[in-house]
Chain A
Amino acid sequence: MKFKWCFGNEKEVPKLDLQKTGSEFLIDNYPDGEPYPGWNVEKILCHQIPVSKKRDIHFLLKPAVGEESSEPLILGWFEKKDPFTQEDLLDNEEAQLQDLIFRIRTSLCISYRESLAKRVVTLINDAKEEEDFTGVGIAVGSLRNFFNFIQLNTNLKCPTISLTPEYNIYASWRVEQKQVFSVHFLPNGDTRFVIFKPNDLHLERQIRISGTATTDILMGTVAPYGVWDWISE
């Protein structure tokens, strides 16, 4: 089934209630939540907007180009009572993608959560209209890797995100033309990064660095290059 995401028109999105705490927060129960050994999920989970009744969560679909009717999303997976069926559905990449977007949108630690979630949905819709589109729009592992990264580093400015030819997330923080920090989030928990920055001793020259690191040590790896100064708030 081909469909288009329509973000922001949800009819039954739970209202924000910042007073609720603890047990009502969403729980990360992904079977593949650990991208690599040693990954500490608890360390990166930030508080999310509490959802009083998970079954109230709905996204609506908008028809893709050339399709006439809209129809309610695959949804309802929160409504399933049968845990086996729910697990099956979580295996579905489409459902995982929805859940990740929901988690981005409700993560209190991400100040730009709304705009970021909208951007992700726009990317998915744009990807689905591409000539040679396959998959679900964004590589789920890549988006999860990116989400883990911004949960680990909550004081980052909102990056510009685009999709690589493999539908992976590519995030860039750019200050004018000569100062760039870009990260390609791979589905396996790795990242490939690029840094361009002015050479302080030779202002007409540029320092260019590229490398690979797992998401959890990325910021530590690039810290010596002063990246924090221009990507954090």
Chain B
Amino acid sequence: MGLDLRMKGDTIPDQHHIARYCRPTQVPDGQIQATAFMLRKGEESLSVNWCEFLNCSCRESEIDELRNIYSRKLRRVGAGAKIAVVNVGEVREKVLTESPDRRNLEILHDPQCGTVNDLSHSGIYNLKRDDELIAELILETVRETYPARK
């Protein structure tokens, strides 16, 4: 089935939320670290999922749906992996006002299709690979965390 990618590039509203999959190597003793918000080599944006796009009735349902997505996309969801949820407006404001270069993050819808479709997939843009300070700022906006494994 073809995927309608017309919504690709849409800006996610400030009042909405995004979820980031945090690997076990970024979650020592259950505590998410700034490394979870760093770009890897070759990445243009930090992968997240748009929670409200999932159209679930509550956060718990959204998290369940995200767990389903991860289990389909990843070879293995680590036992210590976590989901970090942040508010779009809060993280953008935080980074804009507190980063030395007043970085204007863009959080855009970026649905993926392939062997596994991930329609809520989105990205945080305008990050760089040596952005430890901004990763720490993003970490400070994490308000909710959940285990990533079902």
Contacts and interface: CB of A to CB of B under 8 A. Distances in A.
Interface stretch (A27-35, A88-96, A121-129): A121-129
Interface in B11-29: 23-29
Interface in A85-141: 119, 123, 126-127, 129-131
Given A163-B25, A165-B38, A129 B76 contact: yes
A3 B89 CA distance: 43
B33 interface: yes
B40 A170 contact: no
Chain B interface secondary structure, helix, strand, loop or mixed? Answer: loop
Given A170-B33, A180-B136, A192-B132, A164 B23 contact: no
B66 to A, nearest CB: 16
B39 A165 contact: yes
Nearest to B42: A165
Given A123-B25, A163-B26, A170 B34 contact: yes
Contacts of A70: none
Contacts of B36: 162
Contacts of B78: 126, 129-130
Interface residues of A, number: 28
A177 interface: yes
Given A65-B76, A166-B40, A172 B24 contact: no
Contact of B133 (A131, A162, A194): A194
Contacts of A129: 24, 76, 78
B136 A162 contact: no
Interface of B: 23-29, 31, 33-36, 38-41, 43, 74-76, 78, 80, 98, 100, 130, 132-133, 136, 140
18 contacts: A126-B78, A126-B80, A129-B76, A129-B78, A130-B25, A160-B28, A160-B31, A160-B33, A162-B33, A162-B36, A163-B35, A165-B38, A165-B39, A166-B40, A166-B41, A180-B136, A192-B130, A210-B132
Given A170-B33, A194-B132, 17 more contacts: A123-B28, A126-B23, A126-B78, A127-B25, A129-B78, A130-B25, A131-B76, A160-B28, A160-B31, A162-B33, A164-B35, A170-B34, A177-B140, A193-B132, A194-B34, A206-B98, A208-B100
